[in-house]
Structure 1
Amino acid sequence: MLGFEIHVDLHPTSADMFDVRFRIEGPIMPPGVAAFGERIEIRGGPFSRRPAYLVAEIVGQAAVDVILGPAG
């Protein structure tokens, strides 16, 4: 994925439940992408551990797709 990294942070809310945040870091700093490198909380939680990681990975990949723009 061109050297982009998706970092996931889980924050316990109750027994076995977590709020999840992600941040994207990469080799370029795209102009106009204000949240690049910032932690972004994923709504819809709390999640149990496995779904939290799955949701964060999918959301992070979608964010990288938006940063890179249409495939051509």
Structure 2
Amino acid sequence: MQRVITYRGFEIHVELTPAAEDTFNVTVQIKGGTNLEVLGARGSRIALRNGPFTERWAYLVGEVAGQAAIDLLLGPTG
């Protein structure tokens, strides 16, 4: 299962893979934006730790991790 969230000109791709009944492992990939070079050449998927999570938590954790990575790279918004 996959979800794409737009944030500060980037796309955060959150992908869930089943781990056990009703729980999922999460990977995050950041794409796009005008500052793509800041992400490096690979822009590969990153597996999130401390899972597996329920579906709702998996999407939330993936989105927050992606947003935090973008905020770290680009700096504060205002």
Q: Would the TM-score normalized by the shorter structure come out above 0.5?
A: yes
- TM-score of the superposed pair, with normalisation by structure 1: 0.83
Q: TM-score, normalised by structure 2?
A: 0.78
Query: Percent of pairs identical after alignment?
Result: 51
More strand by share: 2
Over 6 Å off, 4+ runs? none
CA change 1:34–1:70 in 2 (3 A) is: same
Structure 1 residues 45, 35: CA separation in 2 closer, same or farther (over 3 Å shift)? farther
Instruction: Select the residue among 7, 17, 22 that pairs with 1:11.
Output: 17
Structure-2 change in CA distance of 1:7 and 1:25 (3 Å): same
Count the aligned residue pairs: 71
User: Which ranges in structure 2 are unaligned for 5 or more consecutive residues?
Assistant: 1-6
What are the ranges of 5 or more consecutive residues in structure 1 without an aligned counterpart?
Answer: none
Separation in structure 2 between the aligned mates of residue 47 and residue 35 of structure 1, nearest angstrom:
30
Once superposed, what is the RMSD of the aligned Cα atoms?
A: 1.9
Q: Which has the higher contact order (CA 8 A, sep 6+)?
A: 1
